[in-house]
Every structure is written in C-alpha cells, then in structure tokens.
Amino acid sequence: MAKYALIAFLFLPFFYLRMQLLPKLNIKDGQLVKITGYLSDEPQVSGNRQSFKIGQFEIATERYPEFHYGEKIQATGKIREKYFLSYPEIEVVGAQFIAPAGIKGAAVFLRLKIREIFNRSFSKPYDGIVSGVVLGDKSLISKDFWDRLKITGTLHIMVASGSNIAMFSEGLLTGLCILFVRRISLLLLISLIWFYTLMAGFQPPIVRAAIMASLLYTGQFFGRESEIKRILWLTGIIMVIINPFLISDIGFQLSFLATAGLVYIQPALKNMFSKETPRSTARSLLARIMKNNNFSSSVSAQLATLPVLLLNFGQFNLLSPLINLAVLWTIPFILQAGMGLGIIGLIGGTGMARIFSFLLFPLLYYLEKIIDWSARLTFFRFEISRFGIVWVVVYYFILYLFVRKDSRGLRSV
C-alpha cells in the first residue's frame, strides 16, 4: 500500500501542472455573472436539489423543473466559493432543449426511455429503487425515501458503480464468448461497458468502475494478470489528471475510498477473524458473520469512508452494516431483473414490462420496508459536529497500521 501511496505523492507535480493549464477566470466571489452553455451530462439529483456543470461552473438549483442532457442553459447569479479550488456555484434561470446526438445522445435517449418504462411499470417508491439500482438515476426517488437511505447508510445502493459493472460484464462476456472468440469478445465488452457508463450518467463512481474494468479486461486481452491494487491507484490518477476538480467531489471520494476498503481492509478483517476460537465466544460468532461477503464488504466500506461521511454529513448509524447485510443480497436480483424489464419494455412496450414487473414486487417491498423500519431506530444514530481534519489524518493512519500489520502477518506465514 505504501508504494502506491508514494506513486500518488510523486504524481502531485503533474496535478499542479494540470491545474495551471486550466483556463483562468477573472471573477471574484460575490460577482454577478450570466453564463450560457449546453448540458454535456445528465444532472445529478440529490433529495430536493439537482446540480450540473457548464464549463468550470457548477450550478445548483431546485429539483423542479428538471433539466436534461443537450439542453441549452442560461443562468445568472452571484459567484460563491466552493469548498475546494474556488469552484463557482450559481442559480438557473432558463433552458432551451436541443436534441441529443451521436453515441452519447443514443445512450442518454435509452436512459430516459428506460427510466420512463420504470416510472410507468412501478408505483412509488419502487420505480425510484429500480431506476436507481439499474441506471444510478435518482430523479424518481422522493426526498422522504432519499432521507431514509441516507439515515440507514444504504444510499450507495442507488448509485451505479462497481457492482453494476461487474454483474453487467460477467453475464455479457459469457454471451459474447458464445458468438465470438475471447479476444474479440473482450474488445466488444469494453465498448459496451462504456456505453452503459454513458447511460448511467457518467457519474464518478461508475466511471471509476468502468476504468478499472477496462484496465482489467485489457490485461486479459494481452494475456496478463492485473493486480487490483495497482489498477485502483492508476484509475484514481487517470481520473484526477483528466478532471482535477474530482478531488473535491464527494461522490468520487466515497467511491474511491469504498473500493480501497474492499481491496485493503476486507482481506485484513477476514484474516483477523479467520483463526479458530471456541464456539461459545463472541469472537467466534463474529468470525462466522465476517465470512459473509456482504457483511464484511459493508463493514470495510464503512470503515474506509467514515471520516468523509462525518465531515460532510455529520452523522453515523451503528446499525448500517447489519442493514446492508439485510438488503444487499436483493440488489443483484433487482439489477438483473430491472435490466431485463428495460429490454422487454423497449421491445414489447411498457404494457409488457408492467406485466413482468410484478415478479420484482416482493423484493422491492422487502427492501423498502427494511429501510423504512431501520430509519426509525434513532437510538443507534449518532451526530458528530466536531470532526476536524486532524482526526481524519489520525483515523486513516490507524487504518494504515492495521492493514500493514495484517499484510506483514500474511507474509510471515
């Protein structure tokens, strides 16, 4: 881990150079400006707010009216310094629709069409759940359900990310290998992964997963095994070189750290509890629970992202790993069935998709009720208002020592 951190540190001069190459805007905080531009991506919806970018500006506004890729936006407002790199934020005043074109336009068209199919096939909040799991689209999720997801620490299931790419690519590769030789199948798969990434809104979590998958399958194409740790760090460096502002993006931070938790912390936790202990001890019980991949991955991701969550949201739910254990097993079924329903809807129409949607209802009902019930257990929810950067450094240093100790222990066996 240390050598990859050193590589990232040596990359800092390139990051500084990349920042110097960005166009400089002679604009002061509080200055009134008017900007006009086109939306190159779908807006990111969060609760009762939507946000999107035009050039170097990030625009945040109310959730309604909705804006979409390809629209021409004119916005006026006062520049307000953001939390990093003086990133401006303004209010929206209008829009003019321009039809999407090209591959990205086709991907966005399919995204909107499939979202419409889900919206007409399921009642609320189930339409938002399926749309969130399959497309990473949060526009159909109500603010009330969004708040419950945030309270229970299950918001990540509504974000298209690594699990989507993994399940999407594994099944697709099997089918492609039936029709083509493996090397051709790998090239087609990488192309389809990026098309799905465009459909999912090109959000940082799924872009990170798409880059990692592309590097992994490229290695297979050339007959080489790829080390996941190296791929993770290389992916982070590539993304930040392309867009330095991602360093201040919470979605990117959480996605990268959660993946790092799976890569570094999960093996360490499993190894720590793998030693045999008496059946009557609590350690033995915890060891058996830790063998469950959903639980250990949830704990690992929570440990890796905890400081960022506390800094930005100021709250933590002790039951979050158990809640995730209770609902995560449903996500692969919802994802695969949702993709199938989307295809059925595109081919046979919304009416046909609505008929098959009833097959998903038990899982959706179960997931919604677990989240609803868990959100009411306020006893296990803590709010922390004073969690400064010093504690962040101390926390990650302790995590580093834990992972380092485990890796040394494995080498000595």
The answer to whether residues 118 and 342 touch, using CB atoms and an 8 Å cutoff, is yes
pLDDT of residue 48: 67
Which tokens hold the place of 133? 């799991």
> Which pLDDT score is estimated for 172?
85
Residue ranges of the domains in the chain? 27-99, 104-161+244-252+260-412
Q: Which of the following CATH numbers is that of domain 27-99: 2.60.40.1930, 2.40.50.140, 3.40.50.1950, 3.40.50.2000?
A: 2.40.50.140
* pTM score of the predicted model: 0.77
Question: Which pLDDT value is given to residue 241?
Answer: 82
Tokens of 227: 């080390």
In angstroms, the CA 242 to CA 202 distance is: 14
Alpha-carbon span 283 to 262, nearest angstrom: 21
Res 383: pLDDT: 75
Distance CA 236, CA 78 (A): 32
Q: List the chain pLDDT tens, one digit each, 413 residues.
A: 555 555 555 555 555 555 545 555 556 666 677 777 777 666 777 656 777 777 667 777 777 777 766 677 777 776 665 433 233 445 555 555 555 567 777 888 888 899 999 999 999 889 999 998 898 888 888 888 888 888 888 888 877 777 778 877 877 888 889 889 989 999 999 999 999 888 887 878 888 889 999 999 998 888 887 788 888 888 988 888 887 777 777 778 888 888 888 888 888 888 877 665 555 566 666 667 767 777 788 888 888 888 888 887 777 778 888 888 888 889 888 988 999 999 999 998 888 999 999 999 999 999 999 999 998 888 777 777 667 788 888 888 988 888 887 665 544 43
DSSP strand pairing (72-78 vs 49-54): unpaired
3-class SS shares of the chain: helix, strand, coil, % to 5:
65, 10, 25
